[in-house]
Amino acid sequence: MDAIIKYLDKSLDYVSHELMKDTLYITVKSNLESVPCPECLMESSKVHCRYKKSFQDLPIQGKKVVIIIKNRNLFCVNPECPRYTFSETFDFIDAKAKKTRRLMDEIVRVSLTQSSVSAASYLSETTADIKKSSICNYLKKNDNLR
Ligand SMILES: [Zn+2]
């Protein structure tokens, strides 16, 4: 399982998993000692607090996947920096997103070939829980990027 998590990001370690109905819940943790502040880029390992963050990813073995991470909120250690604390972020997901970028890509790919109603029902059955309205938003966003 650790190898699968490493495909998503090398800085994540597998902790545990639990299968509930059609969804595999995978708990992971960051293996990075320190993280750069997004403002001044100075590395910090001084933890302010941790909070649980979860997001959906691509399915594994026909099971939907939800990844859970106890995300770190760190102090910026640079006294010159205007930023007091910041959260650890990852390249595979937008800071506030609930789905990984590769899952969003898959949702857009499936939705381009059918109506958003049938895409929502197909995806909810096979890939990830998603509403029709979210598909419409992703498609609009995807259009703007072209
Ligand atoms: Zn800083």
What are the pLDDT tens digits along the chain (146 aa)? 999 999 999 999 999 999 999 999 999 999 999 999 999 999 999 999 999 999 999 999 999 999 999 999 999 999 999 999 999 999 999 988 999 999 999 999 999 999 999 999 999 999 999 999 999 888 888 777 66
* 20 C-alpha to ligand 1 centroid (Å): 40
* 77 C-alpha to ligand 1 centroid (Å): 7
What is the model's pLDDT at position 55? 97
CA 31 vs. chain centroid, Å, equals: 16
pTM above 0.75, yes or no: yes
* 48 C-alpha to ligand 1 centroid (Å): 14
* 43 C-alpha to ligand 1 centroid (Å): 8
* 116 C-alpha to ligand 1 centroid (Å): 42
* 67 C-alpha to ligand 1 centroid (Å): 28
* 45 C-alpha to ligand 1 centroid (Å): 12
Q: CA 90, CA 36: separation in Å to the nearest integer?
A: 12
* 86 C-alpha to ligand 1 centroid (Å): 8
